[in-house]
Amino acid sequence: MTFACYRDQVSDLKESANKDFNTRTEAELRARLKEVTKERNQLRAQLTQDEPLRPFQIELLKLQHHLEVQQIPMMVLFEGRDASGKGGTIRRMTRFMNEKRYRVVALGKPTDEQKTQWYFQRYVPHFPAGGEMVMFDRSWYNRALVEPVFGFCSKREYRDFIKGVVGFEKDLVRQRTALVKLYFSVDKEVQAARFKRRQTDPLR
């Protein structure tokens, strides 16, 4: 968010409060003033938080342009512990990106039919075309990180994945797919605090 956008939003909030002045009781005006003040502080906090990201968001736009010109498909895998910031990072990355040239994929549990197929098969339909970026909010690494812990795969399925994943990814790169893998982690105290916040914040 630019300073001009922030200034315009604050101005809109003030104008809205002024329009209410002649039609509301004193108690209602106090409540409205409290709301406006809260919204203003949130806008200021967002501006302060987002400003350091601007140079990187500009670089992402340049990257999108490069991928489009060169017709290079790109995949970014986001893996990590629960509440480690995967979703928040994706939202910040994509805030100013050209929405026509990227997709975010977050697959649910495999269906009974998918469980009978080649493990990587359900991911393939979501792979990017030339000039497109696809971000996987969790990926095929579920087989290595999540499924063994919860007993969703056998030891043999786990071993087969470990043996096959390197060759699978080498084939992707050999065919000009840019592949980036990111792993996010937080300590147990931070994770517990974020879980607690989710219980009271419906937007988390």
Q: What is the mean pLDDT of the chain?
A: 84
CATH code assigned to 71-199: 3.40.50.300
Model confidence at 201: pLDDT above 60: yes
Question: What is the pLDDT at residue 10?
Answer: 55
Query: pLDDT tens digits for 157-180?
Result: 999 999 999 999 999 999 999 999
Model confidence at 121: pLDDT above 60: yes
Give the CB-side neighbour count of residue 95, counting CA atoms within 13 A.
18
* Cα end-to-end distance, the chain, whole Å: 21
In Å, how far are 106, 107, 116, 151 from 144, measured between CA atoms? 17, 16, 18, 11
Query: Helix, strand, or coil here: 178?
Result: strand
Model confidence at 8: pLDDT above 70: no
* Structural Rg of the chain based on CA atoms: 23
Q: Which of 18, 96, 105, 21 shows the shortest CA–CA distance to 57?
A: 96
Query: pLDDT tens digits for 26-54?
Result: 777 777 777 878 777 666 666 566 788 88
Question: What is the pLDDT at residue 141?
Answer: 95
pTM of the model: 0.70
Q: Which residues on neighbouring strands pair with residue 183, listed in sequence order?
A: 79
Cα distance between residue 147 and residue 10, in whole Å: 47
Sequential DSSP letters for 85-128: SHHHHHHHHHTTS-GGGEEEE---SPPHHHHTS-GGGGTGGG--
Query: pLDDT tens digits for 62-101?
Result: 999 999 999 999 999 999 887 777 888 899 899 999 999 9
Q: SS3 breakdown of the chain: % helix, strand, coil, rounded to 5?
A: 60, 10, 25
Mean pLDDT of 129-135: 97
Q: Indicate the range of 25-29, 150-154, 166-170, 195-199 predicted with least confidence.
A: 195-199
Instruction: Please give the share of the chain, as a percent, with pLDDT higher than 90.
Output: 52
